[in-house]
Amino acid sequence: MTLDAKNTGSTTALKYNAVQNKNRRQKPRTKPTSEFVQLGKTDRKTLIATTQDQMRNVAMVPWMVRHHLDYVSRFKVQFNNDNEDLVKLLNTLFRWHASPQNFDIAGRYGREEMFRMFELEKVTAGDAGINKLSCMKLQAIESDMIAKPNGRKLSRNGNAKTMPKNVRENVNEEGVILSNIYAGKVDYYCVCNRGNDGKSILYDHLEKAQNIIFGAYWSRFGSQIRGVSPLSTAINTVQDLYENFEWTLLKTKIHAIFGVAIMRDYYGSDSQDEESTALGDAADPSTTTEDPVGDIETSLQDLNPDQMLLLDMGVKGKVDTIESKTPSTEFLAFSELMLRIAFMALDIPYTAFNSAQSSFSGLIADTNLYEVSCQHKRDKNMWARKDYSDWLLDMCYKSDRFGIRSFCDKNAVSIDEVKESVEWVSSGIPWLQKLQEVAGDANAIAIGADNIVDVCKRRGKDFYQNIDKQAKALAYAKENNVSIMIGDPGQLSVEQIEKDEDAQDE
């Protein structure tokens, strides 16, 4: 805020600098609009196509996306229920449904790969959908296939037919039918296909919103129906960097091709103008009877990597190499700054790209801060998976698949209680300094600042499964008379301490 120096009588006006037009920069915007106005149907297609092109051709963009996916799309399913029969039942169900032939209607993707692709489509196109089918399988829907079609539909025999009238009249430009009761709520998604040519947008069918697992990146409240890719802020930066790298590499190649410069003095030139220019005012070509230096004779043999290169030159001849100073240090520094700015689109720290720029402690600090920025993105995927698991259990309950309904009836348990026992936990990240981090977790648990269950979850582990596996391992070792020592090196076991105490008592 700034003090307006304009004389307004007894009143002093206070205004925000951000809304003042001083003709020093681009004018401030004057009219807030919905996001669809800013990114209309045509512009949205352009943005998606440009991002897809960069994913194909600019190695930095798919690396950024893969790094992002590694942190936000990997989950494990856990079951929080004391009934061992139910946990065994759920384990069998979710393990069966995770395979490509049981999960994807196209038979391509298993559960984990499908949800990874789901996040990939969201981050590159802004949003994505997964259609829940009545056959207990799912079908992926790319972002631009939720759209208002161009007036035709593709029939089962491949022929284009006229789009139904109710679709043409009710579907808006964002490819949805909105609720007449609740503002901004989507009732139907208009699902399209690409036609036989692979590039059309033809009507396929209307799908109820509750049958679609829809995920998006939002930046607005009620005025945004479709998501926008977070990469939109880095598109131009990445394109400029890509072109700069290409031209810099070309410049380096040119320097490599013309690697040797042979320089000759102009004293022996046949042109008097060139002689005068070379000798200056002190030389008078009309009175010069002979060349003061003589012609330069140079013999250059053919280049052969197996032989020594010999240059036989006369007086005043000189050979030099063209040393490439490309890329310059200034270019490298500026490119690094632009890379950092591009990575900010996905909150990726620069140390993830070049760890040599930081100390190990700095790398750990960057990783911890990045983990914080990833949490709300993980939450989006966690709720999408929760929607999936609830739907799967409902389908199994209705058909009594895997005995889900029989179990509920026998144990007087509702299907909602079964749903609540399913938990999706992020796979977490490996320890960077395991000894120090485990010691820190142990100290936090000891003073009540943390607990062992949450510590395991942060690493993508299940404490209860760890205990069960450990118990089986110890029982097996005991059965085979093998001692398992757990503790610090040199520390006495409980059995040894008790044996020593018994010996003292005797």
- Is the predicted pLDDT of residue 5 greater than 90, yes or no? no
Residue 190 DSSP SS3: strand
Does residue 208 contact residue 167 with C-beta atoms inside 8 Å? no
Instruction: Please determine, for residue 311, whether its predicted confidence score (pLDDT) is greater than 60.
Output: yes
Look at phi and psi of residue 151 and say left if phi exceeds 0, alpha if psi is from -120 to 50, else beta.
left
Q: What is the pLDDT of residue 383?
A: 96
* Contact predicate 441/449, CB 8 Å: no
Q: pLDDT at position 505, please? A: 66
Name the more confident of 489 and 78. 78
pLDDT exceeds cutoff 80 at 319 = no
- Mean pLDDT, range 109-128, rounded to an integer: 97
Q: What is the pLDDT of residues 85-113, one digit of tens each?
A: 999 999 999 999 999 999 999 999 999 99
Give pLDDT, residue 281. Answer: 47
Higher pLDDT, 332 or 139: 139
Provide, rounded to the nearest whole percent, the portion of the chain with pLDDT above 90: 47
Residue-range domain boundaries for the chain: 260-321
Predicted confidence band of residue 254 (pLDDT cuts 50, 70, 90): confident
What own/partner pairs with CB < 8 Å and gap ≥ 24 does 388-395 have? 388/130, 388/132, 388/138, 388/213, 389/77, 389/94, 389/419, 389/422, 389/424, 390/419, 390/422, 391/132, 392/93, 392/94, 392/97, 392/136, 393/418, 393/419, 393/422, 395/136
* Structure confidence at residue 359 as a pLDDT band (50, 70, 90): confident
Please report, as a single letter, which amino acid is at residue 26. Answer: Q
Q: What is the pLDDT of residues 159-181, one digit of tens each?
A: 777 778 888 889 999 999 999 99
Residue 102: per-residue pLDDT? 97
pLDDT tens figures, 136-150: 999 999 999 999 988
Instruction: Output the pLDDT for position 313.
Output: 63
pLDDT of residue 430: 72
pLDDT attached to residue 216 = 96
Residue 283: is its pLDDT beyond 50?
A: no
Between 293 and 95, the more confident residue is 95
pLDDT of residue 294: 47
Q: Coil, strand, or helix at residue 183?
A: coil
pLDDT per residue as tens digits for the range 200-223: 888 999 999 999 999 999 988 878
Lowest-confidence region among 54-63, 150-159, 229-238: 150-159
Task: Give the span between the Cα atoms of 322 and 258, in whole angstroms.
Answer: 7
Contact call for residues 248 and 326 (beta carbons, < 8 A): yes
State how far the Cα of 398 lies from the Cα of 400, in Å rounded to an integer: 6
Predicted confidence (pLDDT) per residue in 386-395, tens digit: 999 999 999 9
Confidence of residue 502 (pLDDT cuts 50, 70, 90): low
Among residues of the chain, what percentage have pLDDT more than 70?
79
Q: Work out the angle at residue 56's Cα, subtended by the Cα atoms of residues 52 and 59, and round it to the nearest 5 degrees.
A: 115
- How far is Cα 64 from Cα 50, in angstroms, rounded to an integer? 16
For 25-59, what is each residue's pLDDT tens digit?
Answer: 778 777 888 888 889 889 999 999 999 999 999 99
Residue 279's pLDDT band (boundaries 50, 70, 90)?
very low
Can you give the pLDDT at residue 187?
Answer: 96
As a whole number, mean pLDDT of residues 306-330 equals: 69
Q: Which pLDDT value is given to residue 265?
A: 63
Give the per-residue pLDDT at 9.
54
Average pLDDT across the chain, whole number: 83
pLDDT tens digits, one per residue of 404-456: 999 999 999 999 999 999 999 988 777 777 888 888 888 899 899 999 988 88
Confidence of residue 506 (pLDDT cuts 50, 70, 90): low
